Amino acid sequence: MRFPGIIAPLAALLLTATASAATSPEPKFELAARYYAECQNVEGGDFDNLRPHLKAFTDMEVMAQTLADPARLFSLLAVVNDPRTLHVMAKCSTEPVMWNTWLRGLTDFNKMVAASMVFASPQTWMNWMMAPANPAVWNAMLHQLDPQRYVQWVSSAFNPQFYSPMLAPMNPAWYAPRVEWLASPQHWGSAQTPLAGKPATTAEK
């Protein structure tokens, strides 16, 4: 069985995937910043600290890299275990602009290949094998024990704004832009753009 014949195509495919990831637009997180400002006990620079972690939920390759690194994964879990973060994620997940981002990523063949290569890397498995001996993993897990975190959860339980993502569908006007998105061929057509190797045109937020 000869392997040299498939090395060149695989190398070209990996380079293409890498180039695609390097040129993909950075999300702006404008809606996320607005929703974060609705939360209690928020200071000016708090969202800037959250912003890098949110990218994992908008980019499949970044999420793959996060899952491949236990320290990075547990750091992300510590960030997610925050009522303010969950408020932002819950509201953004129902926004059509977020659906554009997810659909574009799922139909981007190059990005799918790049994410798959992360899991195929021996370094990923080595990272997890060495996780019990990695101090960064334990430090990230200990952040879950911060008492202030649970004070925020209790405080959020008495904040009506915290429940707005669950109550929003009770407003009939909430459905109009979402039904329009689902019924629009334009959105489904733009999702195929990365698959065809053309730059996506929908602005990320």
Model confidence pLDDT, tens digit, residues 21-63: 444 455 668 888 888 888 877 776 788 888 888 999 999 899 9
CA distance 17 to 13: 6
pTM: 0.72
**Residues 158-163: what's their mean pLDDT?**
86
Contact 112, 199 (CB under 8 A): no
Delimit the domains of the chain by residue range. 4-196
Which amino acid, 20?
A: S
- Of 44, 74, 36, 34, nearest to 56 by C-alpha is 74
Contact 162, 156 (CB under 8 A): yes
pLDDT for position 15: 42
